[in-house]
Each structure stands twice: as C-alpha cells, then as structure tokens.
C-alpha cells in the first residue's frame, strides 16, 4: 500500500502531537464547567485557559471570545445574531456564510470580486450607499480574511474602515487565515470575527466567535446560559482544551509558514514549467503561503481527486463539501474563470507535516495523471 500523503490542510489540519497530549492529560477529568465542585472548577479553569490562548492568537481580549461547536455555528451566530436588515458579502464567501445570510431573512447582496479574487471596493461603496438609503435596520458586511479555496487575502482593514463610514457592522471569517498569517482583531477594525480549532491542527467540534462588547448580539441557541449567555449548551471541554493548545502552538510557530511558502512556490513552478497551459488562480495577489488552486487542463477536478487518491495523495476540488460531491467552484466562477477551467481546478493545501518528499510525490503524480488523461484524448 502506498504511503498516504495529506495535502488537504485547508479542509482540516493534521492533529499536532502536542495537542493530542494536552487532551489525553485532561481526559481523566470528567467535570462539567458549570459545576461548583472541584472537578467542575478544574474544567472551568481549563476552558478559561483555552479562552486566553485563543484570544492571544488573534490579538483579542479573553472576554471577547465565545466558544461554539464549529466554524459554521460561529458564522451563523455572527450573521444571524446581529439582526441585520441588509447583508453585503463578497461573492467568494464560504458556504456557511452564504447559507446563514440567505437564511437570516435579511436582504442579501453579493459584492463582486475581480479576476484575482479581491473584493471590488467601488461596488462595495455603491452597495453601502444604497443600503444606507433603503435599509430599515442594521447593515452587516461579511468578508473572508483569506479564501479557503485560493488563499487570496482580502484587505479587511480597508473594507472595515469603508463599511464603518456608512455605519455598517463588519464580520470577518478568519477561519482559514488563523495560524497562517498574523491577525490582530483590533487592527483589522472588524466588529465580529470567527476562527475554528480544526483548521489550526486541533480537534473538530470547537470554534470561536470573537466580537466587540458593544455589539448587540442575539443568541441563536438557548438553554442554560453558558458562555456568558451567548451560547447555551455544555462546553466541549476536550475540544476546547485542544483548541487552546493548538492556538498556543500556532502563535509560537507562525513564521513556519514562510518555509511552507517555499514548498508551495516549488510545486507551482515545477508544474507550470511542465505544462504551460496550466495556471494558478490568485497567484498575482497576496495569498496564504500554503494554498494552491491549480488547473490541470481538460481534466475534470473529480477525475483528479480520484486519481490522486489512488496515488495515495489527499487533495480536494475547491472547498471540502459535507456531501462529498465535487462541484464547480463558486469562488472561481465569481473570479470570471471560464467554466471549462473552473471545472478542472483542484486545491492543494500544505501544513506543518508537509515535506519536500511530499511535494515531489505530488508533482510526479500530477505529471503522470496529466500524461495519462491527455494520452486518451
């Protein structure tokens, strides 16, 4: 059996051994953080410690952090909880943001991006002007800090400053960016931000909504009033402990992504030299150092995903989909990538355990798959 090579970190990171050790050490404590006995107090201390670590990762205060069950819930809480009458979001947002926006009952406008995937600021300004005149309630702007498919980094501080000129609230989905680039919640100028544990090599089931104290936010889950009343339900303590430890490691090792960028650039250069018809989407602008969205001409993404899997290599076509289906990327469509190219793009995402040998194996497999599929044409 071939060695498994994992190049799908943007879907979920590889669990760090230090995180595994932190969870294992805690599992003997089965207290509820809301209980007042010593086991409950130990669980509460663990949750509070993790909250401090998560806050420190993104330059926030610990009291601004509310733990949720995942990034999807955090995005729903942010978008649906502010009671916006109008929501303006980029056309390249994550599905959880898109779904939450359209389910909120608000009037939703998708702001176009340019061919590089950057938000059209003039279109945003026009939409804000229109919303200010027509809206009967709060206006919310929602934008990804870094796109999960292309890695393209948006000028969020500039977007937030513009939105605030019109009195709009700003939500930033920083889930894919956290741990890969330095984030300062205050410097970004946003009102709400979301991050998730499993994207920084932790366990699934723990994420965070971070927001300014003055934001009027309505809970979307009701019950016992946990998480300062913002999110009811017994906390996933092992997942939160893992999240906290992963946040500490991510903050300590943020510069390692500069090394990962060399592997990314190496992979891209080798493939583009081999196939002049290939292209990397978003390559002309600032993007995450671990992310590659690349075209294999005339070879459907679904075919590539299966072919790479047979080679023992895990990659994806665009965003990881809960149904497991491979569909044409709405991100690439929004970037005006022709349909015949968008349908042939895959996403390769590197991480802390990726090696030069892994990169070489991927390059070799890409060339074999390309040669095989084009021989048959």
By annotation, the residues acting in catalysis are 321
Q: Residue 208: name the closest of 51, 103, 84, 93 by CA.
A: 51
Q: Residue 147: name the closest of 94, 107, 108, 184 by CA.
A: 94
46's CB contacts (< 8 A; 6+ apart) are 26, 29, 33, 237, 240, 241, 244
CA distance 118 to 91: 10
Looking only at the bridges linking them, the beta strands covering 207-211 and 192-196 are antiparallel
Assess contact for 288 and 177: CB atoms under 8 A: yes
CA distance 209 to 26: 24
b/e map of 158-191 (b: 16 or more CB within 10 Å)?
Answer: ebbebbbebebbbbbbbbbbbbbbebebeebbbb
Helix or strand (DSSP H, E) at 293: strand 291-295
């Amino acid at each position: 059996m071939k060695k498994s090579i994992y190049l799908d970190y943007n879907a979920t990171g590889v669990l760090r051994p230090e995180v595994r050790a932190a969870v294992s050490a805690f599992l003997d404590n089965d207290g509820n953080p809301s209980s007042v006995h010593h086991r409950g107090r130990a669980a509460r201390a663990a949750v509070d410690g993790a909250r401090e670590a998560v806050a420190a990762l993104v330059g926030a205060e610990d009291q601004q952090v509310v733990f949720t069950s995942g990034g999807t819930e955090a995005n729903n809480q942010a978008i649906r909880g502010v009671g916006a009458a109008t929501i303006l979001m980029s056309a390249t947002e994550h599905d959880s943001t898109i779904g939450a926006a359209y389910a909120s009952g608000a009037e939703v406008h998708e702001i176009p991006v340019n061919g590089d995937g950057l938000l059209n600021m003039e279109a945003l300004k026009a939409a804000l002007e229109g919303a200010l005149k027509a809206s009967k309630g709060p206006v919310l702007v929602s934008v990804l800090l870094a796109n999960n498919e292309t890695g393209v980094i948006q000028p969020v501080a500039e977007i937030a400053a513009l939105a605030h000129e019109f009195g709009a609230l700003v939500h930033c989905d920083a889930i894919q960016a956290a741990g890969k680039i330095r984030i300062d919640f205050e410097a970004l100028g946003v009102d709400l931000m979301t991050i998730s544990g499993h994207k920084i090599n932790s366990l699934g089931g723990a994420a965070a909504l971070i927001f300014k104290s003055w934001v009027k936010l309505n809970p979307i889950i009701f019950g016992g009033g946990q998480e300062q009343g913002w999110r009811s339900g017994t906390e996933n303590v092992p997942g939160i402990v893992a999240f906290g430890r992963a946040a500490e490691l991510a903050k300590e090792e943020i510069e390692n992504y500069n090394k990962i960028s060399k592997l990314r650039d190496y992979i891209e250069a080798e493939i583009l030299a081999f196939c002049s018809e290939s292209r990397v989407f978003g390559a002309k602008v600032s993007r995450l150092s671990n992310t590659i969205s690349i075209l294999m001409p005339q070879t459907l993404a679904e075919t590539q995903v299966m072919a790479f899997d047979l080679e023992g290599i895990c990659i994806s076509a665009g965003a990881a989909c809960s149904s497991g289906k491979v569909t044409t990327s709405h991100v690439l469509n929004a970037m005006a990538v022709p349909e015949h190219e968008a349908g042939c793009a895959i996403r390769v995402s590197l991480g802390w355990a990726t090696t030069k040998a892994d990169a070489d194996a991927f390059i070799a497999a890409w060339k074999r798959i390309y040669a095989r599929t084009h021989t048959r044409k």
